[in-house]
């Protein structure tokens, strides 16, 4: 099994982490898919890029001369992956050339296959790929974004769709548009995403192979999945077995769209030729396999951010520290609704806190240091309670509008990481101080959320994953 996985990873790595790529359908005409792909790979990709289009010879672009090749067979160098963006009927012939060239991986951007009713054409593509031993991603996909090498087959311009920085999260998405929107969203928030892969119609490579590849990649700490539906008989069991094998080593967070209505299932079929199935089936599959299920894309990344940066807690007991009584109440509501515990502070420690905090501070849990708090009041609470066995994790509300708080508070919260327990922060507002404070926490690995509910769900994910690891 281990040797098989190593071989699989070495082949799939040609798709995810190639050193050279040919762009079939590359174009010098701005505004076309071929132009964006060429710009991505010719100007930012750290590997070698070979444009293929018989209409062009040498074209001056971006201040240099770009040589175009008539076909894949004309390229003298070895090629790891062929990126194909030509009309659907031309794809089988191009794959034949790729096979004759010895290329073992292809990303088929082109649409117009099974999702449009052309099942026979898609089967032809699959047959050619199988004949030559080519691992094929797609068709009808945006392919791969690798933030480490800038191998980027997304065909939307950077100025319209941002690319996130390298980081510990990988995304496997059945939808290209959803993947693009997530990348743009993550880029604006500086959320590190090392890999984004959209597999489209999954004529060959499925989420299972991608899960296995990311399980072996040390740069990936959390795997996220956007799913619409499975496509072939037997896929559910294969996915279940794969997730169950990987989950004890790496968290897998899944958001399943198309949750059961007739209209939703119809939309899934027309999108990627998949079957949505009953949501109850997927829910049971995820729970049994140890995946953590999200109820939205945003929630998926709220949880992934915490799972990528925080240790797993030993238990469900949460310390809540706040400078707003109202936010504290909301935090307790959210935590308890998720099955987490907010235990009272032991009387002996509460008495000591009373001596150290302001006379009107509440010390029962949530601990309300009040709107008159200073940075040091937070430090006192965290240093006194987090090292004890009474609490497993902390939710810290920091409304920076309070006059006694400064940017130094971030250092105190970051310093509390030394106790080895999960810490998440709630930071709400739009001032420069609020933004800089949030950036300091995030850059130091303390996930920050705008509401207590979202922070509570992140802690729930951490506790849920601790249970998964114990069970599996």
pLDDT tens by residue, 205-260:
999 999 999 999 999 999 999 999 887 778 999 999 999 999 999 999 999 998 76
Residue 415 has φ and ψ, to the nearest 5°, of: -65, -30
Residue carrying the six token digits 């939710």: 395
User: What pLDDT sits at residue 261?
Assistant: 56
Q: How many whole angstroms separate alpha carbon 460 and alpha carbon 342?
A: 13
**What percent of the chain has a predicted confidence (pLDDT) above 70?**
94
pLDDT at 258: 83
Residue length, the chain?
472
pLDDT at 273 over 90: no
Please tell me the total count of domains within the chain.
Answer: 2
- pLDDT tens, position by position, 423-446: 999 998 889 999 999 999 999 999
If DSSP codes are grouped into helix, strand and coil, which group holds residue 39?
A: helix
Tokens of 202: 């999954």
- How would DSSP label each residue in 336-355? HHTT-B-PPPPHHHHHHHHH
What pLDDT score was predicted for residue 3? 43
* 108: β partners: 84
Element of type H or E holding 464: helix 452-471
The mean pLDDT of the chain is: 93
CA distance 286 to 414: 33
262, 331: one domain: no
Q: Are residues 169 and 247 in the same domain?
A: yes
Q: How far apart, in whole angstroms, are the C-alpha atoms of residue 26 and residue 118?
A: 24
Cβ neighbours, 10 Å, residue 255 = 20
Segment 254-272 mean pLDDT: 63
Last residue of a domain, one of 307, 326, 354: 307
CATH at residue 291: 3.40.50.261
> Of the candidates 240, 182, 187, 191, which has an alpha carbon nearest to the alpha carbon of residue 211?
240
Q: Is the peptide bond before 57 cis (omega within 30 degrees of 0)?
A: no
Confidence class for position 267, pLDDT limits 50, 70, 90:
low
Indicate if the alpha-carbon torsion angle 404, 405, 407, 412 is positive or negative.
positive
Task: Tell me the per-residue pLDDT of 380-423, one tens digit each, with 9 for 90 and over.
Answer: 999 999 999 999 999 999 999 999 999 999 999 999 999 999 99
Contact predicate 122/113, CB 8 Å: yes
Question: Are residue 214 and residue 316 in the same domain, yes or no?
Answer: no
Determine the average pLDDT of the residues in 24-28: 98
What is the per-residue DSSP string for 415-438?
HGGGG-S-EEEE----SHHHHHHH
Residues 158 and 262 grouped into a single domain: yes
Give 344: exposed, middle or buried? Use CB within 10 Å, 0-12, 13-18, 19+: exposed
Residues 6+ apart with CB under 8 A from 124: 92
Asked if 354 and 292 sit in the same domain, the reply is no
Report pLDDT for 5.
Answer: 47
How far apart are alpha carbons 36 and 156 in whole angstroms?
7
Q: What separation in angstroms does the CA of 436 have from each of 31, 212, 409?
A: 37, 38, 12
Burial class (CB in 10 A: 0-12, 13-18, 19+), 185: middle
Whether residue 7 is found in the same domain as residue 104: yes
Which residue range(s) make up the domain with 432?
Answer: 312-471
Integer angstrom CA distances of residue 181 from 33, 46, 265, 459? 17, 24, 22, 25
Q: Which of 53, 86, 84, 82 is nearest to 67 (CA)?
A: 53
pLDDT for 271 = 45
- What gap in Å lies between CA 433 and CA 80, rounded to an integer? 47
Same domain, yes or no, for 251 and 323? no
Identify whether residues 214 and 324 lie together within a single domain: no
Neighbouring residues of 395: CB distance < 8 A, sequence distance ≥ 6: 318, 319, 320, 321, 331, 335, 424, 425, 426, 452, 455, 456, 459
User: Under DSSP, is residue 358 helix (H, G, I), strand (E, B) or coil?
Assistant: coil
CB 304 within 8 A of CB 189: no
Q: What is the Cα–Cα distance from 210 to 201, expressed in whole angstroms? A: 14
pLDDT in tens, 122-141: 999 999 999 999 999 999 99
Helix (H, G, I), strand (E, B) or coil at 195: strand
182 and 286 both lie in a single domain: yes
Query: From CA 448, how far away is CA 466, in angstroms rounded?
Result: 21
Residue 1: pLDDT over 80: no
pLDDT confidence band for 175 (50 / 70 / 90) = very high
- CA pseudo-torsion sign 227, 233, 235, 236: positive
Measured CA to CA, the distance from residue 194 to residue 49 in angstroms comes to 21
pLDDT digits (tens, 9 = 90+) for 305-353: 999 999 999 999 999 999 999 999 999 999 999 999 999 999 999 999 9
| 297 in the same domain as 319 | no
- Cα–Cα nearest to 393, from 350, 347, 338, 438: 338
Q: Are residues 347 and 295 in the same domain?
A: no
Supply φ then ψ for residue 251, to 5 degrees. -65, 140
Distance between start and end Cα atoms, the chain: 19
Q: H/E element holding 460? A: helix 452-471
**3-state DSSP assignment of residue 302:** helix
Q: Are residues 133 and 67 in the same domain?
A: yes
| Domain-terminating residue out of 289, 307, 325 | 307
Q: What is the pLDDT of residue 232?
A: 76
Q: Are strands 367-368 and 362-363 parallel, antiparallel or unpaired?
A: antiparallel
For residues 422 and 3, which has the higher predicted lDDT (pLDDT)?
Answer: 422
Given 307, 336, 369, the domain boundary residue is: 307
DSSP 29: S
Q: What is the DSSP letter of 161?
A: S
């Amino acid at each position: 099994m281990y040797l098989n996985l190593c071989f699989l990873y070495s082949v799939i790595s040609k798709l995810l982490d190639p050193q050279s790529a040919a762009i079939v359908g590359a174009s010098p005409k701005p505004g076309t898919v071929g132009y964006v792909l060429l710009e991505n790979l010719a100007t930012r990709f750290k590997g070698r890029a070979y444009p293929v289009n018989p209409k062009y010879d040498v074209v001056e672009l971006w201040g240099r001369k770009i040589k175009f090749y008539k076909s894949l067979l004309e390229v003298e160098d070895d090629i790891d992956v062929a990126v194909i963006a030509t009309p659907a009927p031309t794809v089988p012939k191009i794959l034949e050339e790729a096979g004759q060239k010895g290329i073992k991986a292809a990303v088929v951007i082109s649409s117009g296959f099974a999702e449009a009713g052309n099942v026979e054409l898609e089967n032809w593509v699959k047959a050619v790929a199988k004949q030559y031993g080519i691992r094929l991603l797609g068709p009808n996909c945006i392919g791969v974004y690798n933030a480490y090498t800038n191998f980027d087959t997304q065909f939307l311009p950077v100025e319209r769709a941002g690319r996130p920085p390298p980081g510990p999260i990988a995304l496997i998405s059945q939808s290209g548009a959803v993947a693009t929107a997530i990348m743009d969203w993550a880029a604006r928030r500086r959320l590190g995403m090392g890999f984004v892969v959209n597999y489209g119609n999954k004529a060959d490579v499925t989420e299972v192979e991608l899960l296995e590849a990311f399980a072996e990649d040390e740069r990936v700490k959390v795997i996220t999945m956007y799913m619409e539906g499975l496509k072939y008989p037997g896929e559910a069991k294969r996915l279940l077995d794969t997730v169950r094998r990987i989950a004890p080593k790496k968290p897998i967070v899944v958001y399943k769209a198309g949750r059961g209505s007739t209209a939703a299932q119809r939309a899934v079929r027309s999108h990627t030729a998949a079957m949505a199935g009953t949501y109850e089936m997927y829910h049971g599959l995820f729970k049994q396999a140890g995946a953590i299920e999200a109820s939205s894309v945003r929630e998926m990344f709220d949880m992934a951010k915490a799972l990528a940066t925080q240790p797993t807690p030993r238990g469900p007991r949460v310390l809540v520290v706040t400078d707003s009584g109202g936010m504290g109440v909301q935090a307790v509501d959210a935590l308890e609704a998720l099955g987490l515990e907010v235990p009272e502070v032991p009387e002996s420690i509460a008495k000591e806190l009373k001596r150290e905090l302001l006379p009107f501070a509440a010390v029962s849990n949530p601990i309300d240091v009040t709107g008159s708090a200073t940075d040091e009041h937070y430090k006192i609470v965290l240093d006194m309670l987090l090292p004890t066995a009474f609490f497993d994790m902390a939710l810290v509300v920091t409304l920076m509008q309070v006059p006694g708080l400064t940017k130094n508070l971030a250092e105190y919260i970051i310093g509390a990481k030394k106790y080895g327990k999960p810490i998440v922060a709630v930071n709400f507002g739009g001032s420069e101080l609020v933004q800089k404070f949030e950036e300091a926490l995030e850059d130091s690995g303390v996930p920050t959320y705008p509401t207590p509910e979202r922070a509570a769900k992140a802690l729930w994910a951490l506790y849920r994953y601790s249970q998964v690891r114990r069970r599996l």
